[in-house]
Amino acid sequence: MGLWLLFLSSFTSATILPGSSEILLTAMLIEGSWSHWQLFIMATSGNVLGSILTFYMGYFIYAKKPIDFSEHKHYRRVHDVIQRWGWSSLLLSWLPIFGDVFCLLAGWLRLNPVLSFIAIIFGKAIRYAILIWFMSSVS
């Protein structure tokens, strides 16, 4: 049950819903009932799938209504980064709060899904690997 809870927490953390999978992951590391690999795979896969959902939310929002960035300076900044760096900007999809915006706008801008998902996977995997390594070395 615990691993699926981590998966769900990681998934929702990568969508527009609030969440913090890092806290649960850290607690599960401290408890020590699961291997580092199990925790890494569940956290990363949940977070990646949540980001893919967010990407497609942006993709389908575009079909309904264009986004007006004039009143949202944070969206404008992320939009400018994506326009400049393309799919590789999704390596930053792990960032708190802004990572969700990267994925949403990447879908809205119709970036290549395959390359976008590869960048998302690398960004998320590196984030969880570093977190697990750091928390393991501290405890």
pTM: 0.90
pLDDT band of 31, cuts 50, 70, 90: very high
Question: What confidence tens digit (pLDDT) does each residue in 51-71 have?
Answer: 999 999 999 887 666 666 667
**pLDDT reported for residue 79:** 86
Please give the mean pLDDT across all residues of the chain: 90
Cα dist from 107 to 13, 45, 68, 74, 136, whole Å = 18, 19, 15, 17, 35
pLDDT of 17 > 90? The answer is: no
CA dist 8 and 19 (Å) reads 10
pLDDT, one tens digit per residue, over 72-118 is 777 788 888 999 999 999 999 998 878 888 999 999 999 999 999 99
pLDDT, residue 50, reads 96
